[in-house]
Amino acid sequence: MNQVSSDGRGAQDAWNGRGLAFRFRRLRMSTSTKLILTLTLVVGAVMASAGYALVRNQETALMAHRQNEVLAHAITLQLALDEAYRAGRPESATSLIDRLSENPKIEGVILYDERGQVAVQSKPIVTTGSGHLEDVQRVIETGETVERLLRIDDADFLSVIMPVRLEGGQAAFEIVEVTTFVKADIREARATIVVTTLLLFAMIFAVVVLVTRRNHTRPIAALLAGARALGGGEHGYRVAVDHGGAEFTELASEFNRMADRLAEQRSAAERDADQRLTLERSIRHNERLALVGRLAAGVAHEMGAPLNVIDGRAAQILSQPNASLDRRQRNLTIIRTQTQRIARIVRQLLGLARPYDLHPVELDLGRLARSACDLVEPEANAAAVEIIVSAPGAAVVEVDEQLVQQVLLNLCLNAVQAMPHGGRLRVGVSTDTGGGEVLVRVCDSGPGISPDDLPQVFDPFFTTKDVGSGTGLGLSVSRRIIEEHGGRIEAANDPSGGAVFTVHLPLPVKPGSAAEEEVAAVGNTATGR
């Protein structure tokens, strides 16, 4: 039988080892097995019923045949007895009875007189039984024939009681014949029918199995193998279409057509993917070109102005060799200032492009935030900006102190510069143990960042400050530094006004170290400086 267990392995596996009964329950029959079993059961049931009916008919026919035989003997005897007594030769009746009794099928013959008493008996046989005498009397009185089945000493007999006319009037005789051999005939007939039925059943079963295997099992196995091959990536696999009946041939053809369509769609998808990749590459290339263009324009713009100034002042020195010392010194000082400005831009550009050589140390970010605020204090005082630092607990991180301080300084300076007419700068440091990071929030009470500018503030050379006062490189360098530390930096506007910059830095990974308790939000537990 072609059975497959529910876990996909063959039926043979399921039969091996322990838990046979449990595995048997888990067996999933294949369609052809179900078909074979159903057909076998139906055919078996029909053949068993037909065989049973045949056995019953055979039994009835054999019994009826034997009855007719006994009845024929009885009628012959009745005619012979009638003739003997009508001819006045009762002794010939006795010898007839004796001769009849010699027949091995005939157990015995009894002649009853008009009163129902035994007149002649071939050999002593027990014919008594309930209603026997009454039957004899009834035959004498009515002239009817009575047939009875008897069982004496485990042997079966058929008794026929018939009327006969004797000298003194109506009498009766009884002929008893053995029927046991009929039972043997019936057993033989039954065995023949059972064997024939079983042979027929075996043949039908074999034919059903062969036909099912050829028309169902093989084509289904071929389709299954095809589906598995396709699913496993063998896109060129096709199913042979000549297995099984018309439906399976059609199914196999449809399967192959589907495989062809899949192959077409696959190659179309591959073509699409290739095209998309080429397009993406060209978009990325264009984006890089645009970025380089923006950078070049930014560099040209930022450096163009100081270079012009330097050129102008150098030309003045050259064209006025007799100018006063004071004038020459002023020009040289201006040239130096502009050169320093160019050097600053170059440094920042390098900060954006070069790979960082980090020197991380464990430090408290709260302390670093305070020192950054200390550094911007002169500018803050000049602009009447109040600084509030909130760092209630130790927020330990492992960072490059110089670089992270540069970031915090840049954020604080930007905030102070955004509030030229005074305001409040709040710096909060907190630990988010759940998120595994330390947060630094730099908030100001300035005008905030316009929604149009917000997506660009981290772009290199994006600045809204006056020429000379901003390079537009501070935030892009800051983002680069924070990302080098595995963190991120975000810009937003506070709903109550002002800009908010949040720096996320990862907590140092230390096995067994206890996470710091999360501190209150910036401003809630603010402490003045």
Q: Which of 44, 392, 393, 470 binds ligand ADP (CB under 6 A)?
A: 470
**Only segment of 150-158, 236-244, 317-325, 472-480 that touches ligand ADP (CB under 6 A):** 472-480
Least Å from the CB of residue 451 to ligand ADP: 12
**Taking CB under 6 A as the rule, does residue 464 contact ligand ADP?**
yes
Strands 106-112, 118-121: pairing is: antiparallel
Residue 475: name the closest of 411, 404, 381, 384 by CA.
411
Q: Which of 56, 465, 510, 529 binds ligand ADP (CB under 6 A)?
A: 465
Q: Which of 159, 414, 431, 445 binds ligand ADP (CB under 6 A)?
A: 414
Q: Which of 474, 479, 485, 505 binds ligand ADP (CB under 6 A)?
A: 474
Minimum CB distance to ligand ADP smaller for 76 or for 464: 464
Q: Which of 97, 119, 475, 489 binds ligand ADP (CB under 6 A)?
A: 475
SS (H, E, C) 292-303: HHHHHHHHHHHH
Least Å from the CB of residue 472 to ligand ADP: 5
Residue 120: name the closest of 91, 147, 146, 149 by CA.
91
Q: Which of 51, 163, 226, 446 binds ligand ADP (CB under 6 A)?
A: 446
> Is the four-CA dihedral 336, 337, 340, 345 of positive or negative sign?
negative
Minimum CB distance to ligand ADP smaller for 398 or for 453: 453
Residue 217 burial (C-beta neighbours within 10 Å; 0-12, 13-18, 19+): buried
**Taking CB under 6 A as the rule, does residue 423 contact ligand ADP?**
no
Structure tokens at 221: 């196995």
Residue 183: name the closest of 146, 159, 161, 154 by CA.
154
Minimum CB distance to ligand ADP smaller for 470 or for 506: 470
**Taking CB under 6 A as the rule, does residue 471 contact ligand ADP?**
yes
Collapsing DSSP to helix, strand or coil, 205 comes out as helix
Residues 483-522 that bind ligand ADP (CB under 6 A): 499
**Taking CB under 6 A as the rule, does residue 372 contact ligand ADP?**
no
Minimum CB distance to ligand ADP smaller for 193 or for 443: 443
**Taking CB under 6 A as the rule, does residue 440 contact ligand ADP?**
no
Structure tokens at 512: 């067994």
CB 425 within 8 A of CB 390: no
Cβ atoms within 10 Å, residue 244? 20
Least Å from the CB of residue 410 to ligand ADP: 6
**Taking CB under 6 A as the rule, does residue 108 contact ligand ADP?**
no
Residues 132-151 that bind ligand ADP (CB under 6 A): none
Q: What are the φ and ψ backbone dihedral angles of 388, each rounded to 5 degrees? A: -125, 125
Minimum CB distance to ligand ADP smaller for 101 or for 410: 410
Residue 324 burial (C-beta neighbours within 10 Å; 0-12, 13-18, 19+): exposed
Q: Which of 463, 504, 505, 522 binds ligand ADP (CB under 6 A)?
A: 463
Helices (H), 419-518: 474-484
**What residues have CB less than 8 Å from 355, skipping those under 6 apart?**
none
Q: Which of 407, 418, 519, 522 binds ligand ADP (CB under 6 A)?
A: 418
Beta bridge partners of 110: 121, 174
**Only segment of 295-303, 374-382, 471-479, 520-528 that touches ligand ADP (CB under 6 A):** 471-479
Collapsing DSSP to helix, strand or coil, 128 comes out as coil
Residues 373-412 that bind ligand ADP (CB under 6 A): 410
Size of the site for ligand ADP (CB under 6 A): 21
CA angle, residues 493, 504, 387, in degrees to nearest 5: 55
Rg over alpha carbons for the chain, rounded to the nearest Å, is 60
**Taking CB under 6 A as the rule, does residue 472 contact ligand ADP?**
yes
Minimum CB distance to ligand ADP smaller for 251 or for 499: 499
**Taking CB under 6 A as the rule, does residue 449 contact ligand ADP?**
yes
**Taking CB under 6 A as the rule, does residue 306 contact ligand ADP?**
no
Structure-token match 């550009």, residue found: 349
Least Å from the CB of residue 385 to ligand ADP: 11
Least Å from the CB of residue 444 to ligand ADP: 5
Strands 385-390, 423-432: pairing is: parallel
The residue type at 302: E
| Residue whose beta carbon is closest to ligand ADP | 474
Least Å from the CB of residue 321 to ligand ADP: 38
End-to-end CA distance of the chain: 89
Q: What are the φ and ψ backbone dihedral angles of 514, each rounded to 5 degrees? A: -80, 135
Helices (H), 126-245: 132-142, 180-212, 218-231
CB 525 within 8 A of CB 392: yes
Binding mask 326-365 for ligand ADP (x = CB under 6 A): ----------------------------------------
Least Å from the CB of residue 339 to ligand ADP: 19
Distance between CA atoms of residues 249 and 254, nearest Å: 9
Minimum CB distance to ligand ADP smaller for 121 or for 417: 417
Q: Which of 385, 457, 505, 507 binds ligand ADP (CB under 6 A)?
A: 457
**Binding residues for ligand ADP, per CB under 6 A?**
410, 414-415, 418, 444, 446, 449, 453, 457, 462-465, 470-476, 499
